[in-house]
Amino acid sequence: MSTLAAQAIHRFDDRNIDWRTLGDFTGFVASILFVDDATNMVEFIVKFDPNTNTLAHRHLAATYTFVIEGAHVIYEIDGRLRDSRPAGRFTFTPPDGDCHTEGGGADGCVLLYSIRGHSDALFDLLDAAGKTIATLRTCDFRAALVAQGQNC
């Protein structure tokens, strides 16, 4: 066993992260890290509450995630479990219009998102029938970043 693998497991220390709610969304807090309006690139970190299941959505941009702590749980739009991704898992999701919900496992989840859009439309938010009710755009993440007191 390597020296690193033999070390004690430690919780991710997130006390210096500026966690904020995003609009009326519940079940998680987020911190926007970086927004590039010219390339529609957004980097943010989310902390899901334990046993959460967020609003249905689809990714309109290439999405890269890395599970920092806990388990990132993906559900079908009808609520069936699709996948549970443990800490350390890196995942790429293409902008394929796949509808799903997601959240934290039994211990919650801290998840890093890296989004790269071909346009400013990054996510569609969906109702229970899968119909688009809103679109999150690069400018929405820019506004959240500015609300955090940052402008990078």
Please check whether residue 27 is in contact with residue 48, taking contact to mean a CB–CB distance below 8 angstroms: yes
pTM summary value? 0.90
CA–CA distance, 131 with 55 (Å, rounded to integer): 12
Tracing tokens 């609520």 back to the chain, one arrives at 79
CA–CA distance, 36 with 61 (Å, rounded to integer): 14
Please check whether residue 4 is in contact with residue 16, taking contact to mean a CB–CB distance below 8 angstroms: no
Please check whether residue 28 is in contact with residue 49, taking contact to mean a CB–CB distance below 8 angstroms: yes
Least confident of 6-10, 32-36, 38-42, 112-116: 6-10
Tens of pLDDT, residue by residue over 76-96, are 988 999 999 999 999 999 998
**Mean pLDDT, range 6-12, rounded to an integer:** 66
Tens of pLDDT, residue by residue over 26-40, are 999 999 999 999 999
The CA-based diameter of the chain, rounded to the nearest angstrom, is 51
What domains can be seen in the chain, in order of their start residue?
A: 17-147 (2.60.120.10)
Burial of 48 (0-12, 13-18, 19+ CB in 10 A): buried
